[in-house]
Amino acid sequence: MVTSVLNITLYVSLIIAIIIIYFFVSIIRYHRRYMRLQREKIFAEITIRENERKRIAGDLHDSLGPLLSAVKLNIGSVDTLAPADREVLEKTGRYLDEIIGSLRRISHDLVPGILERRGLLEAIREFIAQVGARGSVNIQLYVVKEIQVPKEKEIHIFRMIQEIIHNTIKHAHAGNLQIGFSEEGGHILCLTKDDGCGFDKEKALSRSSGLGLRSLESRCEILGGILQLDSAPGAGTNYFIKIPVR
């Protein structure tokens, strides 16, 4: 009698234990699945955005650009002796120049064409030359060892470097920013170092201004790499990025 009650209790507690374990396992699995889906969603979003950008930049550059140039040539070939008319034509030509200039900027900001043609390092060099000319930060690029980056990864690494440079210019009040690239054991290594004011990582992430930082992390995750950030108020900011080449 007593043993049967004991047996039943044992069975019931066993069943309860199994249910609880199953419950926990499900939660953990669900959570993992949720995280994976979340990651895939971010990955898809970023990929779609990059493709869109590329398409729009291509349209601007390859279709609208030549069209505007053609319009400018057409206007230029109108001969008129009336000074008022000539002035109108000249003015229109200048407007067209302005439109073409804006087109150039927009297209270039969307995707720098040089990235596609010459690869990551040249694109970064060009970007540094552009922002360096405007900004007060002295940016140096060191390539310790030539890196071979797969085409589909280049845009992400480029955006990460862009973000880091932007952050340095906008927030760090730094005088110097050093960016180093190397390749080691099938990994691309990138180290950046500035002598700016530094920041508290946790605080930055909790604010909306941490958005850039989070996108850095997402992109790094997409590439299956790791991102390490060392910064503290008054101590400058260092990033270390390690990405498998594969």
Partner 1 sequence: MKNRISLVIADDHEIFRDGLALMLAKQESVELVGQAGDGHELIRLVDESKPDMVLTDIKMPRLDGIAAARVLLGRYPGLKIIALSMFEEEDLIVEMLEAGARGYLLKNADKQEIMEAILTVDEGNIFYCKHTTARLASLIVRSRFDAGKKAQGHLFNDREKEIIRLICKQHTAQEIGDLLFLSKRTVEGYRTRILEKMDAKNTAGVVIFALKHSIIKEEEIL
How are beta strands 176-184 and 138-143 bridged, if at all?
Answer: parallel
CA–CA gap between residue 146 and residue 188 (Å, rounded):
10
Q: Shortest approach of partner 1 to residue 93 CB, angstroms? A: 6
- Whose Cβ is closer to partner 1: residue 118's or residue 170's? 118
Instruction: Tell me which residue of 78, 103, 101 sits closest to 90, measured CA to CA.
Output: 78
- Whose Cβ is closer to partner 1: residue 76's or residue 175's? 76
- Whose Cβ is closer to partner 1: residue 19's or residue 67's? 67
Q: Shortest approach of partner 1 to residue 40 CB, angstroms? A: 33
Can you tell me whether residue 98 is helix, strand or coil? helix
CA–CA gap between residue 132 and residue 174 (Å, rounded):
13
Q: Shortest approach of partner 1 to residue 176 CB, angstroms? A: 15
- Whose Cβ is closer to partner 1: residue 92's or residue 182's? 92
Residues 136-167, buried b or exposed e (16+ Cβ, 10 A)? ebebebeeeeebebeeebbbbbbbbbbbbbeb
Q: What is the DSSP letter of 193?
A: E
Q: Shortest approach of partner 1 to residue 79 CB, angstroms? A: 7
Q: Shortest approach of partner 1 to residue 182 CB, angstroms? A: 24
User: Which secondary structure element, helix H or strand E, spans residue 161, and what is its range?
Assistant: helix 151-167
- Whose Cβ is closer to partner 1: residue 33's or residue 104's? 104
- Whose Cβ is closer to partner 1: residue 116's or residue 217's? 116
CA–CA gap between residue 182 and residue 92 (Å, rounded):
50
Sign of CA dihedral 36, 42, 43, 45: positive
Q: Shortest approach of partner 1 to residue 216 CB, angstroms? A: 26
The residues that touch partner 1, with contacts defined as CB under 8 A, are 61-62, 65-74, 76-77, 79, 93, 96-97, 100, 103-104, 107-108, 112-114, 117-118, 122, 126, 129-130, 132-133
